[in-house]
A and B are shown apart, each in its own frame.
Chain A
Amino acid sequence: DGGITQSPKYLFRKEGQNVTLSCEQNLNHDAMYWYRQDPGQGLRLIYYSQIVNDFQKGDIAEGYSVSREKKESFPLTVTSAQKNPTAFYLCASSIGNRFEQFFGPGTRLTVL
């Protein structure tokens, strides 16, 4: 089955620790995206990548980092510099920027 997987579904970390969220897709999509969603709010773009080894900052990139070494993988690291990291993180991919994005199931990160 083609799709996007994110792991883990729930993640707990202590304050001050970096944490990496996984996102993998087997849809052969070129573009991948990371969004953050806070309770009762819309999605805010963190980072996106349109091609391997290239990525761009979104609207709220501070405190986050990404890599795109393989077409199918786009991991997101939430660093200790992110002041309020507790949120729901969604990964998405698309064939290209004109087309619809398909989303993974999300990772709910709680920093204690």
Chain B
Amino acid sequence: AQKVTQAQTEISVVEKEDVTLDCVYETRDTTYYLFWYKQPPSGELVFLIRRNSFDEQNEISGRYSWNFQKSTSSFNFTITASQVVDSAVYFCALRDTDKLIFGTGTRLQVFP
């Protein structure tokens, strides 16, 4: 089955804390693509990253980093030194043939 699980429904942190959002996936494919999106209160989904299954290097972009582990079928997202502007719903997604399967999202609230 093709599936994405984001077990954390909501996370609250205080500004400057580090936070990790979990994503576990199931796929029958040997080659696959994973994605993270951010949905701020405005509603529009913002693309953050795409990761190929054959590239297991972790990625860092400023305060954002992603840890891809095929052995545990996980693609976790860490925000370092969180800021209030990071408050949003974050979605992990898996490509399934010609469409994306989204997890149910994790709502992150960062308090000042």
Binding site for B on A (CB under 8 A): 31, 33, 41-43, 45, 48, 50, 56, 58, 88, 90, 92, 97-106, 108
Whether B98 lies near A50 (C-beta < 8 A) is yes
Whether A58 lies near B102 (C-beta < 8 A) is no
- Residue of A33, A97, A106 near B97 (CB, 8 A) is A97
In the assembled complex, the Cα of A100 lies from the Cα of B42 at a distance in Å of 20
- Interface residues of B: mostly helix, strand, loop or mixed? strand
Whether A106 lies near B50 (C-beta < 8 A) is no
- Interface residues of A: mostly helix, strand, loop or mixed? strand
In the assembled complex, the Cα of A102 lies from the Cα of B46 at a distance in Å of 7
Given contacts A42-B91, A97-B95, contact A103 B103 (CB under 8 A): no
Is B84 in contact with chain A by the CB < 8 A criterion?
no
Lowest 7 CB-CB distances: which A-B pairs, in order? A97-B98, A103-B45, A42-B104, A42-B102, A106-B43, A43-B102, A105-B44
How many residues on the B side are at the interface (Cβ–Cβ under 8 A)? 20
- A48 surroundings in chain B (CB, below 8 A): 98-99
Whether B44 lies near A98 (C-beta < 8 A) is no
- Residue of A41, A88, A106 near B104 (CB, 8 A) is A41
- B46 surroundings in chain A (CB, below 8 A): 103
